Structure 1
């Protein structure tokens, strides 16, 4: 059945004024021992499936055009150095325009993808008063409202850019301006005395920095810093467990990530870093679940409305699951982008996605990825990520971004919903274990349970979560971070969500940014609006995980907007390519060669790789060796150069 049109929503509606419930291609991996870093472009095999395209490419609810810039890359130096060499490393983030500003010890540079207003949107940009200069990457979704407020305080604007609004807001309120922003951003401001850097609350836009001698450097991507900073690996036992660094560390010595929700100030002598936002720690919202679901619908509708502000086409990445289907019901895109996995894959959700696309009456553009595509693209993906690949879905994510860019310049995605609403199976397992641990009837059987499930069953939820997260693999390196997050106030489900956001989500959102940047696309993620996240972390645990049901309140909010078959699905799959089968089969010689090459560097990751359908260890070895070849051996030069 077609989806009903999204209602007009306003936060705080109650009772009868609420929401209606209607019825109803690279040779490196192709020859063992060869070190050729010239991958070809991924053949995407796009297909168009069914669906009637109605309306424009669509911005329903978008009450005004958006800013005159999409994807950007920024870089800067306080001290001597070649900022133009740095920014050339990230030219893919903004192929249309480059700007450089120099004053005293500071150099700022921006690469920009131009959409409209090329001249007045040029960066770096001075504030309306001319007292400071800004290099900005991202989107300020409430820039129209902030602009009106600032005009009321006497500020005058020369452009329609949100960048100028950010600069004026900093002039007006200093670092406190960050609390007024709704958006995804990373920016640097020079006021003639000091550099000020800031990153959005959930880390949607990346920002890295380094100190070398008397210099301070920053950039949107690490590869830009490597134009000035020698690459030194920063690997310890935690990498084998987490497959990534824990922010603010990176996999490079002396290079750090500015953490989400933080700002940094550098005055030429000292670096000061402070947190300006964190997950809420209560109180729990005790309203009836019907009211919570109504509030959540309103928040998501407002978040989607703001992210539809654009004068360029907008599409949707559609998995066939609840999260993206609900965004589709609220945004009503004309075109959606899905992935069909190879025959026999247990993760293929193509038919579910097709059903949702038909309900949306949207054109469906479908891509496929084969083992050969996967092997061909790996070096290029590792280069874009600046780190080894942490998820087997990476090739599919990049393929989807490329297909999307052929049709639209902005796409919505459902990232973050699982982390904030309790969507992973491990949430159910630990919540059920906690329930059993508190049951008097079963208390005598705890020793048996620990013998069957491990020594941490019932008694140590942080350790149990950590074992589930890594599938029992690896040492306990990184467990201290989990224990710290589990010590915060809140429910067990909230603890797991906070740990996911700190440990696994940074790699996922980084891939989201880099896949889009590779093809000049902007990804927007309505679930990561900080007001939605704060709402989610004030929910009672049972509003997220109830028995074997995940995302309980989100399902209730979606009912009536998306088909019941989607709301009631429990077979969550994700976008998992059959990498284990490929590595054990046609790609085995390649994988063995790369794993052996990594071993010759003196790096061993155990256990061995003959142990199942998806061998994380062998995949980690393959991507880590490619990372060494690209960044440590070649200093981060493009594999296309």
Structure 2
């Protein structure tokens, strides 16, 4: 895989591509009449330089696993996958994408039209920006930011078409995966199928060069190792962690060493220092264009494990082409298992819907970070769990195969044992990378040392630009305000508030009880402009009104994403996701699957004056109406929820609220 960039202005391309040179060993910028394309080459299959030209022109960042099969099918004799992709586009246009097995991001220019597209999971990134005079795109957000463009990410389920003559941008939407459960399956049969499909997914991703594996000693990375051993592939495992002060040794490093010894794996482990973490954190937030605590905490063990291998202990090189790491250009990861097989504790109820939702947001939550960090260390990332055949199979599995007894990812654990993963590893509990490596604790320590009250504030200090420009769906109640508050604290710009004023008091989606004065007050307090969209509140049709409202938010405020205050309502969250995806928006649900009792206590601690305005649950008498939740009565409310079995946060409509008082830090955001 490689890096790509382009613009009408050749100088803009040359400037932008300077910030992408870490993605390969050579760079070409070529002018084609009114448009210029650039390509940074990180060669895995051949040394064919891009951009490539036939009738049309392509600059591609791709790894197409079935390119030789496509050559045989159509009688072509290309040297690599990018050439095959170009021929396929010349022959069939963008409909050809359905024939591809692989990951890709490309720019295809022909007859005055530029087409940008990426694989529908979003393994390979594209960011773009529209200016008054130009249209520019690049593989990484930071490359555009550093040239003072205002980038937005091309949604993986959208194909962008730019007309050079008119300057018009339009989109074509693509379908995503769907749930198709087969209740006739037997558990053992399903586990055997997972094993076979997984080995095939690993095999197609094995490069001709040396191979690295990010290794934690957990079931996912060990399953990749076991599959590679079955395929008789040589590889080296890499892990990292940190131990400082009185913190215990990093569990992932200990497990990695133990499993490596038991399975006879070659393992390189690296223990970082607190000083190194302090040095690397500002770099990481710059690379990934985000100050997310989770993203930074996961990026650290990834980066430090691979950095030591590629560029030595002293630090990452500016030019990956100068690496002395031999032939290793590819790193495999166990990413994707949690999303496919309900590995997270937030996966509660409607498991396959939760899995599908996780897959939809994977490009935002994980894939961009991992793609960028791997290339900063001279590697291309490959994730066999995200093979399309494996995904389609996972969405046919009954939910009881994914969570059984006390185990999550039950069917995967059975498949792992069948592959030869040691039993204690196959059934080992999940520990997130930032915790198993101790890097989350390291960030906490550094934040405290620097005088910050929390990790987020410390990381925010590294980045002046916002992480995302967001529209906040709001009803004026506690949940939409709390979600907005959390999103703003995470260094996001709240570009506008969006309210659906419903004429139906029984609407499952929107609150019809708030007055326009309350919404205007919220807008004034937060300093964010308010968009109000009227809706009759008719089931399903009200989503068309939501789409209109979010369309206005894009047009007027150039928002990239939407904040939803859902805590446990799959009905609401799923519908917002589908509408947002049609518009190319990301969805942020910072309260999702929050422990409702702890959440109510948190609201009080943070300074939200939450007033109950309506009750509709057994156990909640009318004397609660008008009550402002405080430290004492919140415990009474929680006790009642336990006694009568209603949601402590009112997520099921048991009561409704308005926010009478806001935390001081929310004022003007």
TM-score by length of 2: 0.62
- Which of the two has greater strand per residue? 2
- Matched residue, 2:73: 149
**Deviation of residue 218 (structure 1)?**
0.9
- Matched residue, 2:191: 293
Q: Are 2:396 and 1:538 aligned?
A: yes
- Matched residue, 1:565: 424
- Matched residue, 2:114: 195
2:356 to 498, 513, 529: 498
**Deviation of residue 422 (structure 1)?**
0.7
Distance change in 2, residues 1:186/1:585 (3 Å):
closer
- Matched residue, 2:520: none
1:396 to 286, 301, 308: 301
- Matched residue, 1:65: none
- Matched residue, 2:157: 261
SS at match of 1:82: helix
User: Does 181-190 or 573-582 show the bigger shift?
Assistant: 573-582
User: Does 581-590 or 311-320 show the bigger shift?
Assistant: 581-590
Contact kept? 1:303, 1:526, Cα under 8 Å = yes
- Matched residue, 1:112: 41
1:422 to 331, 334, 342: 342
- Matched residue, 1:123: 50
- Matched residue, 1:529: 387
2:225 to 320, 323, 328: 328
Counterparts in 2 of 1:572-611, with a 5 A limit? 572-576=431-435, 577-578=437-438, 581-582=441-442, 585=445, 587-592=447-452, 609=453
- Matched residue, 1:133: 57
**Deviation of residue 369 (structure 1)?**
2.2
- Matched residue, 1:284: 182
- Matched residue, 1:368: 271
**Deviation of residue 223 (structure 1)?**
2.3
- Matched residue, 1:351: 254
1:386 to 279, 285, 289: 289
* In structure 1, C-alpha distance between the alignment counterparts of 2:455 and 2:434, rounded to whole Å: 16
Q: Are 2:202 and 1:337 aligned?
A: no
**Deviation of residue 378 (structure 1)?**
1.2
Contact kept? 1:99, 1:124, Cα under 8 Å = yes
Query: 5+ residue gaps in structure 1?
Result: 1-70, 231-253, 432-491, 593-608, 610-617, 633-641
Measured on the aligned residues, the alpha-carbon RMSD in Å equals 2.4
Measured against aligned partners, the alpha-carbon deviations of 1:96-143 in whole angstroms (never above 9, x if no partner) come to: 21112211221100111346743xx111112xxx20111111311111
* In structure 1, C-alpha distance between the alignment counterparts of 2:440 and 2:432, rounded to whole Å: 16
Q: How many pairs were matched up?
A: 441
* In structure 1, C-alpha distance between the alignment counterparts of 2:430 and 2:34, rounded to whole Å: 56
Distance change in 2, residues 1:316/1:212 (3 Å):
same
SS at match of 1:204: coil
* In structure 1, C-alpha distance between the alignment counterparts of 2:98 and 2:278, rounded to whole Å: 44
Distance change in 2, residues 1:283/1:425 (3 Å):
closer
SS at match of 2:212: strand
2:14 to 84, 91, 114: 84
Measured against aligned partners, the alpha-carbon deviations of 1:318-338 in whole angstroms (never above 9, x if no partner) come to: 111111111111112431112
Distance change in 2, residues 1:351/1:107 (3 Å):
same
Contact kept? 1:582, 1:588, Cα under 8 Å = no
- Matched residue, 2:29: 100
User: Does 108-117 or 356-365 show the bigger shift?
Assistant: 108-117
* In structure 2, C-alpha distance between the alignment counterparts of 1:257 and 1:180, rounded to whole Å: 24
Contact kept? 1:81, 1:228, Cα under 8 Å = no
**Deviation of residue 579 (structure 1)?**
5.2
* In structure 2, C-alpha distance between the alignment counterparts of 1:374 and 1:555, rounded to whole Å: 33
SS at match of 1:349: helix
Distance change in 2, residues 1:84/1:305 (3 Å):
same
2:90 to 171, 182, 194: 171
* In structure 1, C-alpha distance between the alignment counterparts of 2:171 and 2:197, rounded to whole Å: 31
- Matched residue, 1:437: none
Counterparts in 2 of 1:185-224, with a 5 A limit? 185-224=104-143
Measured against aligned partners, the alpha-carbon deviations of 1:282-311 in whole angstroms (never above 9, x if no partner) come to: 243531112211221121111111001x22
Distance change in 2, residues 1:347/1:202 (3 Å):
farther
Of structures 1 and 2, the larger Rg is shown by 2
- Matched residue, 2:629: none
Contact kept? 1:184, 1:204, Cα under 8 Å = yes
Q: Are 2:460 and 1:624 aligned?
A: yes
Measured against aligned partners, the alpha-carbon deviations of 1:311-356 in whole angstroms (never above 9, x if no partner) come to: 2101211111111111111112431112243163485222321232
Contact kept? 2:210, 2:329, Cα under 8 Å = yes
SS at match of 2:106: strand
Contact kept? 1:189, 1:197, Cα under 8 Å = yes
* In structure 1, C-alpha distance between the alignment counterparts of 2:335 and 2:440, rounded to whole Å: 24
Contact kept? 1:396, 1:575, Cα under 8 Å = yes
Q: Are 2:32 and 1:72 aligned?
A: no
* In structure 1, C-alpha distance between the alignment counterparts of 2:181 and 2:467, rounded to whole Å: 46
Distance change in 2, residues 1:631/1:296 (3 Å):
closer
**Deviation of residue 364 (structure 1)?**
0.7
* In structure 2, C-alpha distance between the alignment counterparts of 1:631 and 1:184, rounded to whole Å: 25
* In structure 2, C-alpha distance between the alignment counterparts of 1:578 and 1:358, rounded to whole Å: 22
* In structure 2, C-alpha distance between the alignment counterparts of 1:257 and 1:326, rounded to whole Å: 32
TM-score by length of 1: 0.65
SS at match of 1:89: helix
Distance change in 2, residues 1:99/1:147 (3 Å):
same
Distance change in 2, residues 1:373/1:629 (3 Å):
farther
Contact kept? 1:108, 1:135, Cα under 8 Å = yes
Contact kept? 2:222, 2:421, Cα under 8 Å = yes
